[in-house]
Amino acid sequence: MMDKHLHIVAQDVPLPSDSGILKELVFLIKALHAQGILLHVHCFGNQKPENLLPFCHKLHLYPKRQGHKGFTLTLPYAVSSRSDRSLIKRLESDRFPILFAGLKTVSSLLDASFSRDRRIVVRMLRNEQSHFRDLSNLCSWGSQKLFYALESIRFGRLMKKLLSGSIQFAVSAEYKVLKTRSLDAYTVVDQMIEMPFLMPQSGTGNFCLYHGNLGKSEHAYAANWLLQNVFNTLEVPFVIAGDNPSDELEQAAHEKMHTCLVSNPSEKELQDLIKKAQVNLLPSFVEQCNTGLLYQSLAIGRHLLTNTKGALGMSVESTCHVSDSSTAFSQMTEVLFNQPFDATAQESRAFFLNGKYNNEKGVNALMRMLY
């Protein structure tokens, strides 16, 4: 039997606190490796992902094109800054199938020298046009707001360019909730989460936790929102954890005696924090199709509190709590902080996670698209 090869193009090197496409990428690489697939993984970033090296047949890193070098008039900066001639040459050196992990990775598809005569799948967990529109709405008037608004418009135009019979789209069930008319043909592949599904902690923890990649605008905004609208008056211990926090966020997190920030935790450290927390707080202020952090908290944590955008399309009301206004969020946080996580809550979570998500099913669906 001939070996099966696969190119995977990733938008960034995965970090422990990443969610969505990057978090799923780690699980997907491990699962495809277990199927005997020889993986040629291409990441934009400088630091080798040591956790992925044992599962990659080959691993290539590419620098992002920073500043004006990454701008074009037509493509989103998030796409044009992730273009590299050596990547295109490597993809063109064979006719192995390609999985583009996220819409930000598809610049090669738009190059005139790139041939589409092979199986090509674009994996999408969120609607980038809607995502950047939401980011623009979070900003006060200024250059950042305008940048996000233009990115949203350009992602809408990009989708029209990509529509072709030679490209397949694999979307999550959550993405389907946000489907726009720009994408009519797709295959639903449930988002993959870490196994085992369920190791929730019984009893009572002693702090509340927010975690995410703090270098990303949406996570930094959510962390600041919690500091300013919940823990400004609610005096229970609150920990923020994540990669690449700004100096401003670090300073804000340490202004009060009961709040703090853990910068750049390892994957084990982050999981320990999730397990030890009494309440995992994961509000979202963008349409939340990248739900890897929420699934991890459901699998290994105690109480989980989110808002409507954070729970979008997942039917999680049976297994976690949803509040929207700052007052309601603060009140529910206080209630859950003093409420043990009991056997009934564990059973409800087990039913939800084990019943709805199946990594093997998702991998098999992708395999049928690629081979």
- φ/ψ of 38, rounded to 5, equals -90, 115
Over residues 85-127, the pLDDT tens digits come to 999 999 999 999 999 999 999 999 998 888 888 999 999 888 8
Is the Cβ–Cβ distance between 286 and 135 less than 8 Å? yes
Which is higher by pLDDT, 369 or 141?
A: 369
Whole-model pTM: value is 0.82
Type of residue numbered 265 = P
Over residues 149-185, the pLDDT tens digits come to 999 999 989 988 887 667 899 987 766 665 555 566 7
Give DSSP secondary structure letters for 213-256: -TTSHHHHHHHHHHHHHTTTT--S-EEEEESS--HHHHHHHTSS
Q: Residue 46's pLDDT is what?
A: 86
The rounded distance, in Å, linking the Cα atoms of 246 and 236 is: 24
Residue 96 burial (CB < 10 Å; 0-12/13-18/19+)? middle
Which is higher by pLDDT, 223 or 48?
A: 223
Over residues 198-218, the pLDDT tens digits come to 666 777 899 999 999 999 888
Sheet bearing 321-322, strands edge to edge: 259-263, 238-242, 208-211, 279-281, 303-306, 321-322
CA distances from 38 to 58, 87, 326 (A): 8, 18, 48
Domains of the chain: 5-189 (3.40.50), 208-355 (3.40.50.2000)
Residue 259 burial (CB < 10 Å; 0-12/13-18/19+)? buried
